[in-house]
Homo-oligomer: A and B are copies of this chain.
Amino acid sequence: MNPKERSWIVNESFFHAEQVPYYETIMTIGNGYLGTRGSFAESYARELPSTLVHGVFNHHPSDQVPDLANVPAWYAVKLTVDGEVFKLDQGTILGYRRWLDMRMGTLNRQILWESHAGKIIRVEFSRLASMDNQHLLLQQIKLTALDDMEIKCALFFDYENAFNVAYAEEGARRVSHWTDVQNGNDYWQGTTNQSGYVVALTHHIDVDQSLESYAEGDNRGQQFTASLKNGESLDVKRYVTIASSRDSGKVADYARQQLSEAVNTGYLDLEARNAAVWQDLWSDMDVVIKGDELAQLAIRFVTYHLLIAAPRHDEHVSIGAKTLSGFGYKGHVFWDTELFMLPPFTFSRPKIARNLLMYRYHNLAGAREKAAEAGYRGAMFPWESTDTGRETTPRWTLPGKDGNRIRIWTGDHEQHISSDIAYAVWQFWQWTGDNDFFANYGAELILDTAIFWESRVEWNEAQQRYELHEQIGPDEFHENVDNPVFTNRLTIWHMQHAIRTMQWLQQHAPEKAAALATQLGISDDNLSQWQHIADHMYIPRYGELKVYEQFDGYFERNYVHVPTYSPRSGNIDVILGHRRTNESQVIKQADVVMLMALLAEEMGDKEELLRNWRTYLPRTAHDSSLSPAIHAWVGARLGLVDEAYELWMKGAGLDLENNKGNVRDGIHAAACGGLRQAVLLGFAGLHLSGNGWAVRPQLPEWWRSVSFTIYYRGRRQPIIINND
């Protein structure tokens, strides 16, 4: 492959059993409706196969919280060669290659395999999740005999694989979410046992020869036999459709209708249609970096994984922290979406960003419920969100080595998420100028969360200031602290922009302003109060140079020089221990620096920002995958291009190098979004300026150019920045 091809391809040259769960994740295919990990058509010991469908959550009785229900493996194939089962860990692998082609979302595999009996067969697989019809999956299998042989082939839905897998410190636990299962030759249907979603799979097989079918055991799936002479080939094409009761009340009919239309269209045309939609998506979303092959591959990799995860036709679902590529975080939606994954779409494919924001709008009820339960007013969004919009953060960790569970406080106290959502709404509106969205949906999100903060802040009479106690900022090494700069400062921003929102509504959509004022109970008093909070919110600072103090008393904790603990792939809190970490200044991830990313110059002049950067960098463990890309973004804006590049590469290595060793649980989706933002907003320095956009490039000197496409106020704008 030449460099141009290499930057579109994720490649695996050898089969290593222990790498199965890693490649499964990075070779996930998907289409914004579902995601299928790159698990093999034949099954292996360490695999974590999953097909996850957006929105199909289920709260299994044995779990604390719901997760996405795993659908049977729609691509399962049992192949025998003269009676021997084709498996890579049996017989001999004479050659192997697997590659994900990100241009059109196809996962391909070629194997030259010899059975124990010495029969040689070349097996080629290809699969895709259609971007054109989100219910459609395609699989092609080509078998070439290099000896005379009889093959048997069974294509079925592997219900045995439809388990969710959770990790305790030792070993995995498997849970099935399904009940009322119908499992037939060309049809599978199941109902989630708590939430009652019905999911149906059906398939059609085309073989290029007339073959005898045979009955395999319980007769699940479609089977055939073929006698092949040395040199003969067999081509199998499989059409699969998946639908759920979220799509239609008549799931079976719907899935069969989709299948029938697909079969009528034909395999080649379906492939072409998928490729055409991919081409269209890439025309907006591709970022071309000349002069840096690895960065080019990395930016396409993160974009690919955002594209296959982002719902394009559904505004009632959003992207989980691990997308649909693994069981990590159970498919739950965090702030990761609004501040990391969503902005790339805001800039370059705003329709998708709108869907993601609408998910929050449709889930305002859950946020209001959470606020009320905690004794507050307005809307307080859950730290972890699923299909119900209710708080679904587990309260306890799984038991550790010592059998003990640890209380998880984020669902209680990581309250900045409500402002994170408001920030994303505002940012979307500023870039798109989508007044319809803002007036009808976005404003309500900003205002009702502002009402929450108004009820949440604490007035310190002695100091004549507002404070926030018992909070968790981005740095989750320090839980339940007082006055985290991140949350306090975003609250100021929130108050200011809630006022601006109301003022804009009053001016441009007065009926909506009046309706919302009534509905949410907003009077002029509230606006005055918001201004008062913005003016009197406490922001801790430290020392003569008044660097931001991450939270009250942060600098009184023990200093640990984090760079000494390198190289390091594990988390530093595991090394130092939970208590020692908590009592130190070691921070998990960008926190004050995250704020510098979001608010930029509003946080201070360049000298002040550099002072804070130099303060926090040696204290930062980057133990959250959210950290390196944000540092790259801020570092680039501060002109620290070499440092920024190193941090960007560290972020890119999370998935591409598995440098934290946890890729099996799913893609680091926030890192994906962060890396795109670091290129556009950091290295290219894209920003809003006056009534338009501008760039302020700080490119690594070896980048010859970077180019990408943005939409500003509905207008498509390709941008090329040459590095002269």
Please tell me if the beta carbons of B649 and A569 are within 8 angstroms of each other in the complex.
no
A120 → chain B closest CB, angstroms: 6
Q: A96 to B111: give the CA distance in the assembly, Å.
A: 33
Task: For residue A443, give the distance in angstroms from its CB to the closest CB of chain B.
Answer: 45
**Chain A interface mostly helix, strand, loop or mixed?**
mixed
Question: Which of B2, B114, B564 is close to A146, meaning CB atoms less than 8 Å apart?
Answer: B564
Interface flags, A629-644, vs B, CB<8A=1, else 0: 0000000000000100
Chain B CB within 8 A of A85 CB: no
Q: Which residues does chain B contribute within 8 Å of A294, judged by CB atoms?
A: 3, 6, 293
Interface membership of A657, Cβ < 8 A: yes
Q: How many angstroms between the C-alpha atoms of A565 and B659 in the bound complex?
A: 35
* Cα distance A575–B569 in the bound complex, in angstroms: 41
CB atoms of B568 and A2 under 8 A apart: no
A290: min CB distance to chain B, Å:
9
| Cα distance A206–B646 in the bound complex, in angstroms | 34
Q: Which residues of B contact A120 (CB under 8 A)?
A: 565, 575
Kindly list chain B residues whose C-beta atoms are within 8 Å of the C-beta of A95.
Answer: 565-570
CB-CB < 8 A to A567: which residues of B?
Answer: 95-97, 110-112
Whether the pair A94, B575 counts as a contact (CB closer than 8 A) is yes
Nearest B residue to A114, CB-CB: B575
Supposing A120-B575, A657-B13 touch, asked if A110 and B3 sit within 8 A by C-beta, the answer is no
Known pairs A122-B564, A293-B293, A575-B120; A4 contacts B569 (CB<8 A) = no
Instruction: Give the shortest distance, in Å, between A116 (CB) and chain B (any CB).
Output: 14
Question: In this assembly, does A292 line the interface, its C-beta being within 8 Å of a C-beta of chain B?
Answer: yes
Q: A13-B659, A294-B293 are in contact. Are A566 and B2 (CB under 8 A)?
A: no
Closest partner residue, chain B, to A144 (CB atom): B564
Q: Determine which of B112, B564, B566, B657 lies in contact with A568 in the assembled complex, contact meaning CB atoms within 8 Å.
A: B112
Please, how many angstroms separate the alpha-carbon atoms of A657 and B565 in the complex? 31
Residues of B within 8 A of A122 (CB): 564-566
**B residues in contact with A569, CB < 8 Å:** 14, 93-96
Given A3-B293, A702-B3, CB of A94 within 8 Å of CB of B568: yes
Instruction: A1 to B3: give the CA distance in the assembly, Å.
Output: 19
Residues of A within 8 A of B (CB): 1-4, 6, 13-14, 93-97, 110-112, 114, 120, 122, 144, 146, 231, 291-294, 564-570, 575, 642, 645-646, 649, 653, 657, 659, 700, 702
Give 19 A-B pairs besides A110-B567, A112-B566, A112-B567 with Cβ atoms closer than 8 angstroms: A1-B646, A2-B292, A2-B645, A2-B700, A3-B291, A3-B702, A4-B702, A13-B657, A94-B568, A94-B570, A94-B575, A95-B568, A97-B567, A110-B566, A111-B567, A122-B564, A146-B565, A292-B293, A293-B293
